[in-house]
């Protein structure tokens, strides 16, 4: 089974952040034909949403107080596992992986929890803090973008709002840590190289000029690539010296 744990953190944010995009895009549509198309999309939405995530059974989850894994003496319990498991399973499902193998899913979830705990320990040591106000601000922004879709997405991911808020705290702490500790500088040469690669891949199709808007988009993509690479390197480095004991 292919390991996805190094990118799950970023995909999680994309899954939930996308819940507001549909509403924002709908507000921009004008004309009767566009409204009709939007109505057709809404009618088909429930079926699409049902297909977007796997189903969950109660026996896939653990007791909240059950010890799962110890990382450098810090015990991760079932409540964290129950928050991570549906996210891992959903990402695997959307990536076309087998989600019937519960043992493999459990192993993947434990690896995700280990990596998350290692990064959180490192971020705490570096003085990174995330306040309740910061988490609430992010939650409020998602709800304002589309509260109904936000709740639907949480239901699909088998998460309560409290569980998502806990995961969001990790995401924000990780983002702060990467911003402080990772090299995110993007050079003109890197932008031009990526632009040339995209032009080559596009073949006969036009991709537009390398203007300010395109440059900003490419810079964002390059930063994300660097984040993934450096995140993976940091996790591997921390694992080499970590004391890890699986407890289930």
Concatenate the DSSP letters of all residues of 49-117 into one string: HHHHS----GGGS--TT-EEEEETTEEEEHHHHHHHHHHHHHHHHHTT-----HHHHHHHHHHHHHHHH
Looking at the DSSP assignment, which residues form a beta bridge with residue 141? none
C-alpha 188/C-alpha 197 separation (Å) is: 14
The alpha carbon of residue 194 and the mean position of all alpha carbons in its chain are separated, in whole angstroms, by 24
- Please state, in angstroms and rounded to a whole number, the distance separating the CA atoms of residues 248 and 105: 13
- Say how far apart CA 17 and CA 61 lie, in whole Å: 25
Instruction: Read off the pTM.
Output: 0.76
Digit-coded pLDDT (tens) for 22-60: 444 444 444 444 444 444 444 444 443 444 678 899 999
Beta bridge partners of 246: 69
Would you say residue 172 has pLDDT above 50?
Answer: yes
- Sorted by sequence, the CB contacts under 8 Å of residue 221 that are 6+ apart come out as 194
Q: Within 10 A of 5 (CB to CB), how many other CB atoms are there?
A: 21
Query: What is the predicted pLDDT for the residue at 45?
Result: 41
Residue with tokens 């570096």: 126
Q: Are 69 and 247 in contact (CB under 8 A)?
A: yes
By mean pLDDT, which of 20-34, 93-107, 192-206 is the weakest? 20-34
State yes or no: pLDDT of 145 exceeds 70: yes
């Amino acid at each position: 089974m292919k390991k996805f744990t190094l990118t799950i953190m970023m995909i999680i944010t994309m899954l939930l952040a996308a819940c507001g995009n549909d509403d924002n895009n709908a507000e921009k549509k004008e004309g009767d034909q566009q409204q009709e198309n939007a109505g057709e999309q809404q009618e088909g939405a429930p079926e699409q949403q049902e297909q977007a995530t796997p189903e969950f059974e109660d026996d896939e989850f653990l007791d909240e107080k059950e010890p799962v894994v110890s990382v450098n003496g810090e015990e991760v319990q079932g409540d964290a596992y129950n928050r991570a498991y549906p996210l891992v399973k959903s990402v695997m499902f959307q990536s076309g992986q087998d989600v019937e193998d519960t043992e493999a899913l459990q192993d993947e979830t434990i690896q995700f929890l280990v990596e998350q705990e290692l990064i959180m320990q490192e971020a705490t040591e570096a003085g990174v803090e995330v306040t309740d106000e910061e988490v609430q601000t992010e939650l409020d922004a998602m709800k304002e973008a589309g509260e109904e879709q936000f709740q639907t997405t949480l239901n699909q991911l088998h998460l309560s709002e409290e569980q998502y808020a806990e995961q969001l705290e990790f995401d924000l702490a990780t983002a702060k840590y990467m911003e402080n500790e990772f090299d995110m500088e993007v050079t003109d040469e890197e932008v031009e190289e990526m632009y040339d690669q995209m032009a080559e891949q596009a073949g006969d199709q036009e991709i537009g000029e390398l203007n300010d808007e395109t440059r900003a988009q490419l810079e964002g993509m390059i930063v994300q690539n660097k984040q993934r690479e450096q995140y993976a390197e940091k996790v591997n480095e921390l694992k080499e010296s970590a004391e890890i004991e699986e407890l289930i």
